[in-house]
Amino acid sequence: MTALAETQAHSGDVSGARFTAVLGVTAVLFFLCLLPFELIPEIPVDIDSKPFFVPLALCALLPSGRIGLAIGLGVALGEGLRDLMEGYELDDPIGFFGYIAGFWAASALYSVTAASRWSLVVGAVLCAAIQAAIEASSFLIFGAEGWTITVESAIGNTITHGVIWGAAPLLFLVPALEGKFESYLGFAPRSRRSAPPLPVERSHFEPDAGAVAWVKDAFFRYPGAEAPALNGVCLEVAPGEVVGLSGPPDSAKSTLALVLSGLAPSVTGGDFSGEAGAPESVAIVSAKARDFLTQARPVHEVAASYLSHGGAPADAERRARAALEAVGLPADKHDAYVWTLTREDQARTVLAAATARAPRLLVIDDAEAALGPDAETMVEGAIAALPEGSGVLLIQRDPERLRALADRIVALDEGRLSAEGAEAQPEPLAPSQPAADSAPAGEDYGPVSVPTLQVRRDGWWARRDPRVKWAIFFGLILFIYIAPDWRWMAATTAVGVVMALTARPSPGWLAFSLLVQVPNVLGLVLLPLLGGGATSEEELAFGLRLGLGWVAAILFGISLLSSMEIPEMVAGLRGLGLPKRFSFVIGYSFLLIYLSLADFAGFLRSLRVSGEALSLQRPFRLARSAATLFVPVIATVARRGGAMAVALEAGQSARVRSPFQLKRPDGYDFLLALAVAAALIAAVGARIGLL
């Protein structure tokens, strides 16, 4: 049990889960906004367009300090994810440090200045100048000829990133976003960060010493809200007890569940007054089940949950499939992508994962809205599968639907317990009235086709150990920087071609990634050829080295990473020693990207069904419709990021494990790693004149 002090204001605290959520949300938003900007041709060499206005808006609206660092890391990760899916550019690894420094500086500046137009402009230009200078310095690695490119790239990108795609849109975006997404990440809007203290009550309620979870005289207020959502609530869940919680819409039922679980205010932010005892482990099944998914496939979702509480790796997949069958998910959907499932199947997946975690407290919020007509049977089976002594909180508006399962029913109204005991019967709503806290019907688009980086084939590259593949990838990228001249780079590109032919990545991804770099490569090679003379020969050698390096990096990244599923990526990074939570965020960001793309594809499908046809043949109408969705999309991603923070904390993220279990590398893996190591040693020797 953990106890909260009687009067605590947590809005200034930043938990690890919230830091991770801001990092992940920033990464996904930056990645999604990068997609249309990739269609804008670059100005050779490497002056491009990037949507700095989105993370700059986060810097302007969220607190500074650790959150500013999270935004900078998120932008670097978003760019890295784009590079993983489209191929690395040679200045990107060094540019990552520029993102962290630039956006952290902008966040610090915005925190000490009023949110005026001038401060927004200065922060945008400062951020872009820092990032552009650090990123452009990477060209100096390739020789003295890089000075010209360095200066031109730094100045050009400061203008494009800081002014055109930084300050100008930022002046309109910040007012449009303020107050619309901050609370999802646990923060109050800047204009409402001071609030009066919450009331303090003293009641005679005393929770049992062995209660699974309890609150006493609990007041809770969400970030930025004026009135508290909970008003002096006292409640406990005893071991083995099923408590039904009913009440009208907007009565703070879900809020009480979060406070009772210990997730509010530690993850949600806000202010708390009272006392609380939280369980050691929690599992939540929400009507918005899609927001609580953390893996790309149902079998991986349940297996990861089973492993998180100490399950045996060798038994994880078998148990996961059995749990999915128990909640009614057909076997042919166990390995499907979660965004191709219906809302009910997504909820079944979350329910199976919740029971696999063997939680001390299971919260099921509006099961009927999530699970459909068989909800009662599935919930009954889930309760029966819990360990002895676990408690259950069932949330439903109508107490009649709780009687078959609950040991007692508690009614909540306007944040207060209005009655307690089996006879509590608030008047149920009319069947025609929609539930305010159920998932929007528009989110259930059914199967949606979304292009993915991973190509699932049982090929030679797919069978390689993910740790070795990541090591090869990092080694080959390093080789590009230390290769002595363009001839070595040509050999490296040839190796990349062989890898692409054997790994068989997605032709669409590969073609698009190569086409994006055509302006840069042509500028590097053709301009020296047109000039002539000895100086032009040196510039041509420099251009060939740089241009071939770009192509080689794309071939390496697309080939290796398309041979790994998301859990393999996460397990491989963990196997190389990266922090567990950071590795998880990379995998979760991929999932959030695909879910967001599925949402957009589903939206377009719904318009076609309703007769409002949108297509590439009507680009202006399509662009206008996409623009109107911009702020809601940011809010949706932020909402899912907040749900991810809750899932992380509830699932005891310190023990999050990838459902992909690493095995001992075989002989081919060692030979590959040895070959890359030998190539690196040879390149270093040639570079310093030993070979």
Task: Note the pLDDT tens digit of each residue in 651-670.
Answer: 654 456 778 888 888 888 88
DSSP category for residue 43: B
**Residue holding tokens 């929770």?**
207
Q: Quick count: other Cβ atoms within 10 Å of Cβ 525?
A: 16
- Residue 428's contacts (CB-CB under 8 Å, 6 or more residues apart) are 397, 398, 399, 400
The answer to whether the beta carbons of residues 289 and 343 sit under 8 Å apart is yes
Spell out, as residue ranges, where the chain has pLDDT lower than 50. Answer: 1-12, 421-442, 609-611, 614, 616, 653-654, 691
Whole-number pLDDT of residue 127:
93
Beta bridge partners of 284: 363
The answer to whether the beta carbons of residues 408 and 392 sit under 8 Å apart is no
**DSSP, residue by residue, 55-102:** HHHHHHHS-STHHHHHHHHHHHHHHHHHHHHH---TTHHHHHHHHHHH
Task: Give the tokens for residue 145.
Answer: 């000829």
Residue (of 402, 290, 416, 301) closest to 352 by Cα position: 301
- Alpha-carbon distance of 2 to 213, in angstroms, equals 10
The answer to whether the beta carbons of residues 439 and 254 sit under 8 Å apart is no
From the number of C-beta atoms within 10 Å of its C-beta (0-12, 13-18, 19+), residue 654 rates as: exposed
Degrees (nearest 5) of the Cα angle 455, 664, 666? 70
DSSP category for residue 656: -
Whole-number pLDDT of residue 91:
62
Q: Which three-class secondary structure state does DSSP give residue 364?
A: strand
First to last CA, the chain: 65
Whole-number pLDDT of residue 129:
93
Supply the Cα-derived Rg of the chain in whole angstroms: 27
- Alpha-carbon distance of 665 to 540, in angstroms, equals 42
Burial track 623-634 (b if 16+ CB lie within 10 A, e otherwise): eeeeeeeeeebb
The answer to whether the beta carbons of residues 167 and 125 sit under 8 Å apart is yes
Q: List alpha helices for 562-666, DSSP H.
A: 566-575, 580-609, 619-628, 630-650
Q: Which three-class secondary structure state does DSSP give residue 629?
A: coil
Query: How far is the CA of 690 from the CAs of 55, 477, 545, 683, in angstroms?
Result: 46, 22, 21, 10
- Alpha-carbon distance of 518 to 244, in angstroms, equals 62
Whole-number pLDDT of residue 190:
78
Residue (of 244, 306, 299) closest to 281 by Cα position: 306
**DSSP, residue by residue, 107-141:** HHHHHHS-S-HHHHHHHHHHHHHHHHHHHHGGGGG
pTM of the model: 0.82
- Alpha-carbon distance of 465 to 314, in angstroms, equals 17
- Residue 679's contacts (CB-CB under 8 Å, 6 or more residues apart) are 475, 479
Whole-number pLDDT of residue 620:
57
Whole-number pLDDT of residue 670:
86
Whole-number pLDDT of residue 533:
54
Q: Quick count: other Cβ atoms within 10 Å of Cβ 210?
A: 10
- Residue 532's contacts (CB-CB under 8 Å, 6 or more residues apart) are none
**DSSP, residue by residue, 137-176:** GGGGGG-TTHHHHHHHHHHHHIIIIIIIIIIHHHHHHHHH
Burial track 313-345 (b if 16+ CB lie within 10 A, e otherwise): eeebbebbbebbebbbbeeebbebbbbbbebbb
Query: How far is the CA of 54 from the CAs of 126, 393, 601, 630, in angstroms?
Result: 15, 39, 22, 10
Whole-number pLDDT of residue 392:
93
Query: How far is the CA of 572 from the CAs of 242, 361, 387, in angstroms?
Result: 41, 32, 33
